[in-house]
Amino acid sequence: MKHKELVLKMKELFAPYRKNLIIISVIMIITSIGSFLTPWLTKQLIDIGIMKGNFLQTVFYVGLIFIIFFAQQLFGAIQFYYYRNISLRIPFDLNNQACKHVLLVRTKYFKDRNFSEVMSELFQDISNISSLTDTQFLSSFVSLFKIVAGLVALFLINWKLTLIMLATIPIKVLISSYLFKKQESIYKVIMRVQSNFSAWLGDGISGIVEIKLWGIINKKLSKLNDILENSMKAKSRLMFCGYIDNVAGSTLSILFTCILYLFGSWLIQKNEMSIGSLVSFVSYSSLVFEPIGIISYLITQLSLVKPAFERFLRFLSTDIENDNPGSIELPNSMDIKQIKFENVSLVYDEEKALDHVSFTINKGEKIAIIGFNGSGKTSIVNLLLRFYEPTEGVIKINNNDIRTYTFESYRSMWSLMAQDNYMFNDTIKNNINISEELSMDEIIESCKKSGAYSFIQELPEKFETRIGYNGSKLSGGQRQKVALARTLARKNTKALILDEATSSYDYYSEQNFNEDIVSSSCYIFTIIITHRPEVLKKLDRIIYLDKGRVMGTGTFDELYESMEGFRNIIVNTQNKEMQDHAVHAFSN
Ligand SMILES: Nc1ncnc2c1ncn2[C@@H]1O[C@H](COP(=O)(O)OP(=O)(O)OP(=O)(O)O)[C@@H](O)[C@H]1O
């Protein structure tokens, strides 16, 4: 990102806090005026009060120094009040903005990236950006004022000494700008390494069973070692930069002070300067050097913030689920007569998952989508639910493009049981009642339909049983039954999609569920992805897919007669069913 664009974006980001920032800056300027007055008053105190033995003048200047100190403390308290507000508010707002974006970002974003990697990057970036509000950073803006005012004061005291001092500043600026470039590139490496670490951690937690099963703990640890070593190397380079900056700063400062005392004593001997002037010159010069030091801190801090800010902006600019301009709510009372795919293609990354798919589902129809693995069945569901947008073609409801409707109102017509359903680390009841609008009777009814009721009744805490992270305390089949109960309990939906919804069910649970759903479905549309012949035979129509293309549509008998691929799927499934059946009979 270009420097100008970045500054503009930063201005935009801080615009809501402008008033507070201005107040803080004004207060900083006022307090720094006080700091400038103090050395001058000290000079007067020494030259007029102490050196000339004038007690009244001494008391007067001591009093003034004290009043200035008191006023500075008062303004400091006001500054603290405003500073506290923005330093807490900025991370709060950035976190809110980022988390809202996480929830709205398109589904495909999290297909490429590990969730913990994204979240850790975000929190890291927010923390780095928020460091812009630390007091030292804010005071660096006032530093410019301090430097100019300090230089004026120094020139007034002694211009020769001031010129010597000025000679050291370009050296400091040169060193700082060199270090800025170095540090910026090191920070980029550190950010990348930290992302790798989060990705490693995310995979490690999610894949813990596979890691143990395959005995690859040492391989995983060796990868971790590489990551941590890279991190250590980058941090060590960063520490070295900090060390060089420190050494350069203190060397220049000592060098300058030595020259100052040597040259200053020579000027005092020549009666060109008083002792008080030299003391106040030393004080003023530190007032100039201190902000120069702060500016170098600002440069270091910017080298850290710039890459973080760039990455944060990149995340905020990722595609989100924004309703199309002029989109309307899909009315719940709408009489939906038809859902239509017109020449729809879908390309994920580079792979074409659907290729000019066209079909229509009419009101009241129960249809199946069938095809070998990877033929595009779930992709059709992804498009229907608008988790992805078609690359080509259009999906319509009653001849209106589904993008005419807002995401939320459109999705509210669907009940979906996907292949993977996330289970919250909560009770069974709360996992089913995620919309928080179901009565206990409704929850029980949906559990009876999905076949979950009987096993829940056997649990000591029944519906109040906590099911662990992603339902890990339930068996695969039990988990699927609870997820299906949740799908069936969703209120006011018009269409049901079951994507291999009963794949983990035992043979008879599956038979029972399929019987019920096929005979008594109350939805306007029912779409089932299954290979079970006994279900397929009872459905109105089957859409047979192969390699992302619709090879045929028709009833079970029509497709069985005319399509060899379809017949193969059915024969394979029947063979598997016979095995399941035999296993079940044997175990009983
Ligand atoms: N998020 C994705 N990114 C990239 N490619 C994908 C993605 N999802 C699916 N694919 C690819 O698209 C093709 C169709 O996948 P899809 O999941 O629709 O098939 P499916 O018929 O549902 O398969 P299965 O029976 O195994 O569930 C596959 O080749 C798959 O590799």
CATH architecture of 338-413+493-587: 3-Layer(aba) Sandwich (3.40)
- CB half-sphere exposure, 449, CA atoms < 13 A: 23
Ligand 1 centroid, distance to 477 Cα (angstroms): 23
Fold classification of 422-491 is: Rossmann fold (3.40.50)
Could you tell me the distance, in angstroms and rounded to a whole number, from the CA of residue 215 to the centre of ligand 1? 29
Residue nearest atom 19 of ligand 1, based on CA coordinates = 374
SS3 assignment, position 432: helix
Ligand 1: does its nearest atom lie under 6 Å from the Cβ of 565?
no
Range of weakest confidence among 201-205, 355-359, 415-419: 201-205
* 502 closest CA partner among 493, 494, 492, 512: 512
Q: Do domains 338-413+493-587 and 422-491 have the same CATH topology?
A: yes
Q: Is 282 exposed, middle or buried (0-12, 13-18, 19+ CB in 10 A)?
A: middle
Q: How many CA atoms lie within 13 A of 351 on its CB side?
A: 8
Are the beta carbons of 227 and 197 closer than 8 angstroms?
A: yes
Q: What whole-number percentage of the chain has pLDDT above 90?
A: 32
Give which of 563, 512, 511, 564 is closest to 533, Cα–Cα.
511
Query: In this predicted structure, which of 360-374, 396-410, 515-529 has the lowest mean pLDDT?
Result: 515-529
456, 428 Cβ separation under 8 angstroms:
yes
Would you say the CB of residue 375 lies under 6 angstroms from ligand 1? yes
Q: For residue 188, what pLDDT is reported?
A: 87
Task: Answer yes or no: is the C-beta of 158 below 6 A from any ligand 1 atom.
Answer: no
* Ligand 1 atom nearest residue 419's Cα: 27
User: Do strands 525-529 and 414-417 pair parallel, antiparallel, or not at all (unpaired)?
Assistant: unpaired
Cα 91 to averaged position of ligand 1 atoms, centre (Å): 39
* Residue 10 near residue 301 (C-beta atoms within 8 A): no
What is the residue with the minimal CA distance to atom 27 of ligand 1? 373
pLDDT exceeds 80 at position 51:
yes
Ligand 1, atom nearest to 346 Cα: 12
Inter-residue contact 176 to 245 (CB < 8 Å):
yes
> Does residue 194 have a pLDDT over 70?
yes
The amino acid at residue 343 is: N
pLDDT at 581: 61
pLDDT tens, 555-567?
Answer: 999 999 998 888 9
DSSP helix/strand/coil, 513: helix
The yes-or-no verdict on residue 313 having pLDDT over 70 is yes
Helix axes 55-104, 18-44, angle to 10 degrees: 160
> Any bridge partners for residue 554, and if so which?
542
Residue recorded with tokens 């709408």 = 334
Q: Under CATH, which number does the domain 3-316 receive?
A: 1.20.1560.10
Q: List, for residues 162-187, the tens digit of each pLDDT value.
A: 887 777 778 877 887 788 888 888 98
Cβ(111) – ligand 1 distance below 6 Å = yes
Q: What is the 3-state secondary structure (H, E, C) of 517-560?
A: HHHHCCCCEEEEECCCHHHHCCCCEEEEEECCEEEEEECHHHHH
Q: Looking at ligand 1, which residue's alpha carbon is closest to its atom 24?
A: 373
What the block records as the tokens of 26 is 């004004």
- Amino acid 587: pLDDT: 55
Cα of 372 from ligand 1 centre, angstroms: 11
Instruction: Report the Cα 515 to chain-centroid distance in Å.
Output: 44
Instruction: Return the structure tokens found at 551.
Output: 């090879």
68-114 pLDDT, tens digit each: 999 988 988 888 888 888 888 888 999 999 989 988 888 888 877 77
Name the pLDDT band for 584 (thresholds 50, 70, 90).
low
- Residue 431 is predicted with a pLDDT of 94
Residue 379 Cα to ligand 1 middle (Å): 6
Residue of 108, 113, 369, 377 to test ligand 1 pocket, by largest number of atoms within 8 Å of CB: 377
Residue 520 scores a pLDDT above 70: no
Indicate the burial class of 233 (C-beta count within 10 angstroms; 0-12, 13-18, 19 or more).
middle
For 231, the token pair is: 């991190």
Residues paired with 552 in a beta bridge: 544
- 470, two tokens: 């992603």
CB of 351 shorter than 6 A to ligand 1: yes
Domain residue limits, the chain: 3-316, 338-413+493-587, 422-491
CA–centroid distance, residue 391 to ligand 1 (Å): 15
Atom 4 of ligand 1, nearest CA residue: 348
Q: Which atom of ligand 1 is nearest to the CA of 111?
A: 1
Q: Which of 294, 26, 260 is nearest to 147 (CA)?
A: 294
Greatest Cα pair distance, the chain, in angstroms, is 120
- Predicted ipTM beyond 0.85: yes
- Check: CB of residue 237 under 8 Å from CB of residue 260: no
Q: How far is the CA of 378 from the centre of ligand 1 (A)?
A: 7
Question: What residues contact 511, with CB distance under 8 A and at least 6 apart?
Answer: 534
Q: What angle do CA 95, 6, 86 make, to 5 degrees?
A: 40
- 392-397 sheet: strands from edge to edge: 351-362, 338-348, 392-397, 400-401
The protein residue whose alpha carbon is closest to atom 28 in ligand 1 is: 374
Distance between CA atoms of 556 and 368, rounded to whole angstroms? Answer: 10
| Cβ 112 under 6 angstroms from ligand 1 | no
- Structure token pair of residue 70: 């008191």
Atom nearest to 108 CA in ligand 1: 1
Percent of residues, the chain, with pLDDT higher than 70: 94
Does 383 sit in the ligand 1 pocket, CB within 6 Å? no
Contact 420 CB / ligand 1 (< 6 Å):
no
> Considering only CA atoms, which residue is closest to atom 6 of ligand 1?
348
**Nearest CA residue ID for atom 11, ligand 1:** 353
Q: Which atom of ligand 1 is nearest to the CA of 351?
A: 5
Q: Which of 110, 379, 387 to mutate to test the pocket of ligand 1 (most atoms within 8 A of CB)?
A: 379
Look at the alpha carbons of 319, 324, 328, 334 in this order and tell me if their dihedral is positive or negative.
Answer: negative
Give the pLDDT of residue 50. Answer: 87
Q: Residue range 475-489: average pLDDT? A: 92
Query: CA angle 353-357-361, nearest 5°?
Result: 125
Nearest alpha carbon, ligand 1 atom 31: 374
From the CB of 20, is ligand 1 less than 6 Å away?
A: no
Residue 499's H or E segment, with its range, is strand 495-499
Q: What is the DSSP string of 332-363?
A: TT----EEEEEEEEEEETTEEEEEEEEEEEET
Instruction: Report whether residue 348 contacts ligand 1, using a CB cutoff of 6 Å.
Output: yes
CA angle 483, 489, 490 (to 5 degrees): 100
Task: Count CA atoms within 13 Å of residue 414 on its CB side.
Answer: 22
Whole-number Å distance, alpha carbon 386 to ligand 1 midpoint, is: 16
Whether pLDDT at 586 is above 60: no
Strands 366-370, 525-529: pairing is parallel
HEC sequence for 132-159: HHCHHHHHHHHHHHHHHHHHHHHHHHCH
Is 109 a pocket residue for ligand 1 (Cβ < 6 Å)?
A: no
